[in-house]
């Protein structure tokens, strides 16, 4: 058939308006129109913005999370020795091990955290208003307002409820992450051996995968094994999340008033993000260290578990605090700044 010339053997398909309309309507059966998409984004603004910002922040700081876990479960002298050990003995795998559990769990947990927090902030604020005539949330949103005791109590209580709600979801994933990240160390008694950090053969040791870790934990300890250290986890998250949200909203409100930053300026969010994450972590770090140590030796052999437990019992509960301060400060500065930015973009979408 000659190009541009109609052929009786291969006729062109009909291009009538009716057929084009039918094809377009059929192809867009599962496609949202712009107004529907924007309406859904605004309705679930908190969930969408918290999920997107958490993914970005978590991916960017996975290497620091791996160093923090090793510092808690092995007798490294300092952060740099731990970082050199990872590179020389475990290779790049040491920096990204256990990346999937925190990415999946932290995203889900953050969505739950922010959703529950915003819901209970409104509920508690309405209850306070019915008793005192003062609405903490309305006062917080008023330009130029200053922090109040009722406001701080409202944010703290809502944050603690949020942390407690998310704990059952977060504990199994965090346990799997800790087991995967320390599997090479534990299986080779590295926590008890003084020269283990110079053992180059560990680079080629097979690393336990996330799914395999969960399966082995359930096989050896049952489903309850996935909640090893849950009480410590719940205490850490309940106290820490309450402090997190109270400090964040209080510092952000104060910074916007005292420094004259506009409500949409991300500077106050970045400052509040660093402070609200580092202070609670410092206060709850002993809970996290004990939880991490209890979880990390779940899959060792009996003798290895005993040696590892004795070795880590002699080290400080604040071991690795410097790396966790750096990691959590950067993480929450990125997370909260991006979250506020995404929320602002969603608010600006046309209806």
User: Which residues have C-beta within 8 Å of that of residue 109, sequence separation ≥ 6?
Assistant: 166, 169, 170
125-134 contacts, C-beta under 8 A, 24 or more apart: 125/154, 128/154
Domain edges within the chain: 46-342
Q: Tell me the pTM.
A: 0.74
CATH of domain 46-342: 1.50.40.10
Residue 217 CA to residue 276 CA, distance in Å, equals 34
- Are 347 and 231 within 8 A, CB to CB? no
User: Which residues have C-beta within 8 Å of that of residue 137, sequence separation ≥ 6?
Assistant: 121, 122, 125, 151, 154
Tens of pLDDT along the chain (351 residues)? 444 444 444 444 444 444 444 444 444 545 568 888 889 999 999 999 999 999 998 888 777 777 776 666 666 767 777 777 777 766 666 666 666 666 777 899 999 999 999 999 999 999 999 999 999 999 998 888 899 999 999 999 999 999 999 999 988 888 887 777 665 555 554 444 445 445 555 555 556 677 888 888 888 889 898 898 899 899 999 999 999 999 999 999 998 887 765 555 678 889 999 999 999 988 888 888 777 777 766 654 444 444 444 444 445 556 667 777 888 899 999 999 999 999 999 999 987
- Extended strands (E) in the chain: none
Shortest CA distance to 264 belongs to which of 332, 337, 349, 331?
337
pLDDT of residue 191: 42
Residue 167 CA to residue 113 CA, distance in Å, equals 10
- Are 298 and 326 within 8 A, CB to CB? no
- Are 230 and 288 within 8 A, CB to CB? no
pLDDT of residue 77: 67
Residue 151 CA to residue 183 CA, distance in Å, equals 45
- Are 185 and 70 within 8 A, CB to CB? yes
pLDDT of residue 302: 42
pLDDT of residue 20: 41
């Amino acid at each position: 058939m000659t190009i541009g010339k109609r052929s009786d053997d291969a006729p062109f398909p009909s291009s009538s308006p009716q057929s084009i309309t039918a094809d377009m309507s059929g192809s867009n059966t599962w496609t949202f129109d712009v107004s529907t998409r924007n309406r859904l984004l605004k309705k679930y603004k908190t969930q969408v913005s918290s999920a997107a910002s958490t993914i970005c922040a978590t991916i960017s700081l996975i290497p620091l999370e791996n160093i923090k876990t090793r510092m808690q479960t092995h007798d490294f002298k300092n952060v740099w020795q731990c970082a050199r050990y990872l590179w020389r003995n475990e290779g790049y795998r040491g920096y990204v091990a256990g990346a999937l559990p925190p990415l999946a769990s932290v995203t889900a947990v953050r969505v739950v955290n922010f959703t529950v927090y915003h819901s209970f902030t409104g509920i508690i604020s309405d209850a306070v208003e019915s008793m005192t005539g003062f609405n903490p949330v309305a006062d917080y949103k008023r330009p130029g307002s200053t922090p109040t005791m009722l406001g701080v109590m409202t944010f703290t209580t809502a944050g603690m409820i949020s942390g407690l709600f998310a704990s059952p979801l977060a504990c199994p994933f965090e346990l799997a992450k800790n087991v995967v990240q320390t599997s090479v160390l534990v299986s080779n008694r590295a926590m008890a051996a003084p020269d283990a950090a110079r053992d180059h053969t560990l680079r080629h040791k097979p690393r336990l995968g996330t799914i395999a870790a969960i399966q082995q934990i359930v096989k050896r300890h049952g489903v309850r094994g996935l909640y090893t250290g849950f009480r410590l986890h719940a205490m850490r998250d309940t106290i820490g999340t309450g402090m997190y949200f109270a400090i964040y909203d209080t510092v952000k409100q104060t910074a916007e008033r005292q420094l004259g930053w506009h409500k949409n300026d991300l500077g106050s969010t970045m400052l509040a993000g660093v402070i609200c994450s580092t202070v609670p972590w410092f206060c709850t770090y002993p809970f996290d260290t004990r939880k991490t140590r209890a979880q990390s030796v779940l899959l060792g052999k009996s003798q290895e578990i005993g040696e590892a437990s004795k070795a880590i019992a002699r080290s400080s509960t604040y071991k690795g605090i410097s790396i966790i301060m750096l990691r959590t400060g950067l993480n929450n500065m990125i997370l909260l700044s991006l979250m506020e930015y995404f929320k602002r973009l969603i608010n600006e979408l046309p209806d």
